[in-house]
Structure 1
């Protein structure tokens, strides 16, 4: 949980992002401003196309904003040169919907490759930490397996371990259970609850799992039309939303 000494770890200021050109141009983020404090767990909710995943992709430098400033841990992500972005980006880990594991590598190699290449860790150090993380996610016996030999839930656990191996200050979660069979969802969500409860990692989560959002969040942001239309504690947003659009959305998903 954040404390009084926490600061804004992530800050979006007047961020705009458009896709397409001409009469097919769509504004996905519209002069967006919001902040996330160090150690805070923030969940982004809202209808598909409201800009939630675009926020995560901007933080991962997979997209560039058309306007505005993004800061992470005091450093500028945008506007900034490529070297600055790479340095800021090292502090951020992301777990995607579809795992994105390297099929030709073992599970352990999937976890250790980035720390060796991007953080300059020795292979021995990276592998020791990788084995610890695989134990953490319940897959300590799968080090030499290939991703194709694992279930979807196991692959997502490997993806979570891979993100944690980069020692991120920020963990981004993009609909991490949407590609899983229903019986595998609970295990992955329980793992993420444990991470939220036992670490000081700042988390930004995009999800339609509202009970999960209620459990882990310090703050919930409701998005619509590329803007935050309402924000507050889980109790406020889920029990007493003020905005009619929030009430409509929650009525459809709860």
Structure 2
């Protein structure tokens, strides 16, 4: 069975619609004999923050990994900002996208992982400037100015010259968020970004992400088990189970009066 269509096209002032920033069209992903995404139709409008919830193994992180091109779908297509991420035209035929095609599209997407994935041999400032200089071709002085602005935003202006290994887990995760934003992405993917943190460090990182969410500067797609955070930052919440969207809607509906019994059971278990 095809999953619930969770498209979120936006109305324009003239009454038309704008294409979604992200669109999954009947996307299938299998690992061995297990279907993780089952003909998934899913879209996110620009400026709309979307949170994916559901049990482990339901396909949430797979969506993020597909968007980062860490894995490829087994069926369907993915579009980002009007560009096909999974396919390209060659000699008049639609074929799987190669690295040259994917590279400029991938620049529009940033991701913050469960583990911080910082370069431990580099100081904090260089962690933020390396990709903008090498990937975006940004002037190094400009990249450093941008990096220092971001470090101030995440409360770590005094750590620019520190080695990442000397930072606490919460500080490293804030550096990772700043590093993702340094690439000026249109989409920021967040994959259980507090799961590796000690409980006393979680609140500071979530507060920072709330500030980013309300700024409207980037579209967030979050995977989280922090239901309070999901309620605060989301314009739309999608409940996943067995590779399908079983329910979607605004957070006040999903968390207060869900329609689907599977959603009610899941929320009861995680609260």
Q: Paired residue for 1:98, among 112, 115, 127? A: 115
* C-alpha distance in structure 1 between counterparts of 2:264 and 2:121, whole Å: 46
Matched, 1:59 2:67: yes
Could you give the per-residue CA deviations for residues 26-59 of structure 1, whole angstroms, max 9, x where no partner exists?
Answer: 1111110011000000000000000000000000
Whether the 8 Å CA contact 2:190–2:222 is kept in 1: the answer is: yes
Alignment of 1:210 onto 2:217: no
- Out of 157, 182, 196, the residue aligned to residue 179 of structure 1 is 196
Aligned-pair Cα RMSD in Å: 1.1
**What TM-score do the two structures reach when normalised by structure 1?**
0.96
Tell me whether 1:136 sits opposite 2:136 in the alignment.
no
Per-residue deviation at 1:181? 0.4
Structure 2 match to 1:31 = 39
Q: 1:226 aligns with which of 219, 222, 243?
A: 243
Cα deviation code 1:55-106 (max 9, x no counterpart):
0000001010011010000001012232121111000000000100000000
The correspondence of residues 36-185 of structure 1 with structure 2, limited to 5 A, is 36-79=44-87, 80-185=97-202
1:3 Cα shift?
6.2
Contact 1:60 1:89 in 2 (8 A): yes
Partner of 1:13: 25
Give the TM-score, by structure 2 length: 0.90
User: How far apart, CA to CA, are the structure 2 residues paired with 1:174 and 1:211?
Assistant: 16
List structure 1 runs of 4+ shifted beyond 6 angstroms: none
2:4 aligns with none
The answer to whether the Cα contact below 8 Å between 2:28 and 2:39 also exists between their aligned partners in 1 is: yes
Give, in whole Å, the separation in 2 of the partners of 1:11 and 1:112.
30
Q: Quick check: 194-203 or 171-180, which moved more?
A: 194-203
Tell me, yes or no, if the aligned pair for 1:76 and 1:84 is still in contact at 8 Å: no
